[in-house]
Chain A
């Protein structure tokens, strides 16, 4: 009996526990440089979890995650920048000819306000956009296109507002900011942010796992597979969709908040269209509809990216493109999805029983052509 319980625990929580232990122990055996790199990739894994929630489970491909990530990052970077410039006007504003701090920068002197704004502004934006978009029953690729357009516009806009956002360079030189009396770049502070990232990743993972296991998650999958049916069952798809969109936006913003102190810069180039689509690749490669897949995909692709782009900067683009095509054509379920399907088949063979068909979300064909899909928007 005990043995069975243990086996169940291992199959359900084993990989997560091992991953967390390794991540918590990482500061002991990684150099400072590698630790910062890992911390950065872990923030990407957090974004991937949020995206998996809305896309892998909900079937809504948001191409705006980079935007929400960027807004969160800018929010916290504003606080750090004000800290770093020590009460004086931030350098880029001075260069752009501003005489005093713009009014909307003033409250960012408070860390509490900065954190709250960094989380809430993306959430509210997603809420408003989601409400209008979902209410008019815009779905599928239309939703993707609108979120992509918003991302494109905002990143261009941030480039244009040189005096208020630092323009193309973004908000830089955060290194001299003080946190608890230590410089931001000192190893203990960096380690602190790393650990905070690991904790945040674990928290977001647990939250997503709880949500997807609960009725909310089932409704989400039902929404993905047949929205009309959910509507006819008496649920309000608009409300569900808005909630999950806001949630995924705030998760991306949280990742942005953790990204800025570790990387020390946020610029429009990390929040535009291309990064937003790269985020989608992480989830696609790891496996849509499998939370662990999102984490694994984000880590693997980011490492591959940094390795390839350092050694062969030209080939990386082609490699990334091939990764898109390959993951869609050959591994539509992603690494974890395919592994799970494989292990189910092995188990099925061993116990000489037919494998349970579609026990988990990951084993289903992820984007189904339902009647509504084929008919387009009605």
Chain B
């Protein structure tokens, strides 16, 4: 029983990372019909930002153990990934609106280039980011099972980000414009919303979130140039399952996939667990083709 609780807990933390990653994908897809295959590489960018901060800034910020640099790396990863994403939107993606399959190809190309760039700069082997000392260990839930502080921290971080996203989407004028463009682009433009600007900022916001996810991933394991590829397919499954452009749907789908994945791993192997999840999604789509919570007005 405790093993199950532990696995579910791990599933929730995996799901929370998936959620960060897939929010950006869902925005880009729901808003602009853009499928961003380079999204995984923005996770990698975020992870390497943490690595660079550890190398360059940790000595000046009280050492690696103190972890101040890590707290600084999170917003930095967001900014760097968001800037890169904004650059990509203005130079490449904007030419491909209305051709979703082409965006898939072109952004995959961007992903390849980013991966090779990381390989040239940081080398092909994986590198380790040392977690701050105060995240080591875990909370004892009895019977020798520990809920690691790192994973609790990740879940907390994601909760924070989701709350911020909620406030942004539903309580700011910028968020209202975003939702307006998502629901009806022409009407929003007619009413004076600068939909181009909304496109750029939303895309950048999405890639920025992927950067934060990358930063969080450095707590769990080593990072390498192909880090993003491990998460991108899962993230797309979240988007498919969750339904396009719906925050609650995405949250539900990310948690469901994360938890099912890790719980199914208990009785079987990791890959069999993933296969079962994919099968479950395909079967689910028979019953509800537009995902858990599709936006009704589009």
A145 touches B98 (CB 8 A): no
The residue that B111 contacts in the complex, of A152, A157, A321, A375, with Cβ under 8 A, is A321
A156 touches B274 (CB 8 A): yes
Q: Which residue of A lies closest to B111 (CB)?
A: A321
Q: Which residues of chain B come closer than 8 Å to A125, judged between CB atoms? A: none
A377 touches B112 (CB 8 A): no
A314 to B290, CA, bound (A): 42
A144 touches B101 (CB 8 A): yes
Per-residue B-contact encoding for A360-378, CB less than 8 Å = 1, 0 else: 0000000101000111111
Q: Which residues of chain A come closer than 8 Å to B131, judged between CB atoms? A: none
Which residues 128-159 of A have a CB within 8 angstroms of B?
129, 132-133, 135-138, 140-142, 144-146, 148-150, 152-153, 156-157
A317 touches B112 (CB 8 A): yes
A229 to B271, CA, bound (A): 40
Which residues 13-55 of B have a CB within 8 angstroms of A?
29, 33, 35
Per-residue A-contact encoding for B88-120, CB less than 8 Å = 1, 0 else: 000010011011111011101111110111011
B271 touches A160 (CB 8 A): yes
The residue that B108 contacts in the complex, of A132, A314, A324, A378, with Cβ under 8 A, is A324
A376 to B289, CA, bound (A): 12
For this complex, into which size category does the number of interface residues on chain A fall?
35 or more
A328 touches B102 (CB 8 A): yes
* Min CB gap B229→A, angstroms: 7
B164 within 8 Å of A by Cβ?
A: no
Which residues 63-106 of B have a CB within 8 angstroms of A?
92, 95-96, 98-102, 104-106
B102 touches A367 (CB 8 A): yes
Q: Which residues of chain A come closer than 8 Å to B108, judged between CB atoms? A: 277, 321, 324
Instruction: Given A328-B106, A377-B290, verify A153-B112 contact (CB < 8 Å).
Output: no
A369 touches B98 (CB 8 A): yes
A292 to B115, CA, bound (A): 32
B167 within 8 Å of A by Cβ?
A: no
Q: Which residue of A lies closest to B112 (CB)?
A: A321
Q: Which residues of chain A come closer than 8 Å to B240, judged between CB atoms? A: 142, 145-146
Instruction: Given A321-B110, A377-B290, verify A328-B96 contact (CB < 8 Å).
Output: yes
B109 touches A136 (CB 8 A): no
A142 to B119, CA, bound (A): 30
* Min CB gap A335→B, angstroms: 16
- Selecting from B3-11, B143-151, B247-255, B278-286, the interface stretch reads B278-286
A322 within 8 Å of B by Cβ?
A: yes
Instruction: Given A149-B233, A149-B236, A149-B278, verify A328-B105 contact (CB < 8 Å).
Output: yes
Instruction: Given A160-B269, A317-B113, verify A61-B101 contact (CB < 8 Å).
Output: yes
A324 touches B112 (CB 8 A): yes
* Min CB gap A370→B, angstroms: 10
**Most chain-B CB neighbours within 10 Å: which of A146, A320, A376?**
A376
Per-residue B-contact encoding for A186-211, CB less than 8 Å = 1, 0 else: 00000000000000000000000000
Which residues 314-369 of A have a CB within 8 angstroms of B?
314, 317-318, 320-325, 327-329, 332, 367, 369
Q: Which residue of A lies closest to B295 (CB)?
A: A376
The residue that A317 contacts in the complex, of B106, B115, B283, with Cβ under 8 A, is B115
B109 touches A133 (CB 8 A): no
A327 to B282, CA, bound (A): 32
Q: Which residues of chain B come closer than 8 Å to A320, judged between CB atoms? A: 109, 112
Q: Which residue of A lies closest to B239 (CB)?
A: A145
Per-residue A-contact encoding for B219-259, CB less than 8 Å = 1, 0 else: 00000000001000100110110001000000000000000
B229 touches A273 (CB 8 A): yes
A141 touches B286 (CB 8 A): no
Q: Which residue of B lies closest to A154 (CB)?
A: B275
The residue that A318 contacts in the complex, of B33, B113, B283, B294, with Cβ under 8 A, is B113
Q: Which residues of chain B come closer than 8 Å to A153, judged between CB atoms? A: 271, 274-275, 278
Q: Which residues of chain B come closer than 8 Å to A284, judged between CB atoms? A: 105
The residue that A367 contacts in the complex, of B99, B113, B289, with Cβ under 8 A, is B99
A-B residue pairs, 5 tightest by C-beta: A324-B109, A321-B112, A317-B116, A321-B113, A321-B109
Name 7 interchain pairs, CB-CB below 8 A, sorted by A. Answer: A152-B233, A277-B108, A317-B115, A324-B106, A328-B105, A374-B33, A375-B298
| Further 8 A-B residue pairs, CB within 8 A, beyond A132-B286, A321-B108, A369-B98 | A148-B233, A314-B120, A317-B112, A318-B112, A321-B110, A325-B92, A325-B106, A376-B33
